[in-house]
Amino acid sequence: MITVLICDDDPIVRTALEGYLAREDDVHVERSVDSAEAALEVLDAGAPDVVLMDLVLPGMDGIAATRRISARPGAPAVMVLTTFGTEEQVAAAIGAGAVGFLLKSTTAAALAAAVRAAAVRAGTVITPELAAHLAQTASKESGDGSLAPQASAERSPSPSTHPQDGASPDAAGGSMPLPVASPTSDDADGMQDTDADAAAARFALTDRERDVLELVCEAESNARIAERLSLSESTVKSHVGSLMTKLDCSSRLQVAVRAFELGLVSAPHRRQ
């Protein structure tokens, strides 16, 4: 069993990551904390196999935390997470001792594959989403549209991944950043059904799409959603694809976080 510590100051992101990793039989999230300082305290009591570390945190940032964690005897593998990825950030993270670097828009399947690769120290892990993102950024900066994502991907090995259920083949590109703003618990408690209805109307979501969205936010698989809603799996995939399009997202993880942010579903409370 691969044990994981998540460190991210956004409770919505933490809950989404926990939910997707919980679907993996060989991965267990031991703790989820909101600061580097809290992560270091957890590690004092025992190290997990992998730490998923947000790059931007209150207090100590993710790079400094990664450096301190990596300097420890028997240190866990640190995977750095961020909304945006630049070559400078990747270099800083790897230089601090991180074994990999992921965009928060990484698909659930790629996230799980990256965690497994990090746990066995299978080289530097940069997912195809990030490789493509870096290539697109470099292409824009250089003005040379001939730069292909594959060229960037060759810089570091990346885990073998497959598009997750409900994602179209084109959804693997990670250039769309994951929304990071999150409502407070008080805001979530005060969310009224009329607000969710207004948000759904704004994005022209059908009642059935809203039903599917609720279950996507519970990290349910397409098969499980189909069972719970008495639909065919192909119909669920169609609804998930429509949600990704309407909410302008490139992965199910993004859909879930975007739904919480927009008030389409109730935001989770901060976990202790």
170-210 pLDDT, tens digit each: 333 332 233 333 333 344 344 345 678 888 888 999 999 99
Ranges of H-type helices in the chain? 11-22, 36-44, 62-70, 87-95, 108-119, 128-142, 149-153, 185-189, 193-202, 207-216, 222-229, 233-246, 252-262
Nearest to 158 by CA among 134, 122, 133: 122
Alpha-carbon span 86 to 49, nearest angstrom:
26
Residue type, 86: T
Using DSSP's 3-state secondary structure scheme, residue 135 falls into helix
Going residue by residue through the chain (272 aa), what tens digit of pLDDT does each one get?
999 999 999 888 888 889 889 889 899 999 999 999 999 999 988 889 999 999 889 899 999 999 999 999 889 999 998 876 666 777 778 788 888 888 887 778 888 888 998 888 766 677 655 555 555 554 454 443 332 222 223 233 334 333 333 333 233 333 223 333 333 334 434 434 567 888 888 899 999 999 999 888 776 788 889 999 999 999 999 999 999 899 888 777 677 767 877 888 764 433 33
Structure tokens of 72? 């420890």
What is the residue whose two structure tokens read 């499980």? 224
Looking at residue 127, what is its pLDDT? 60
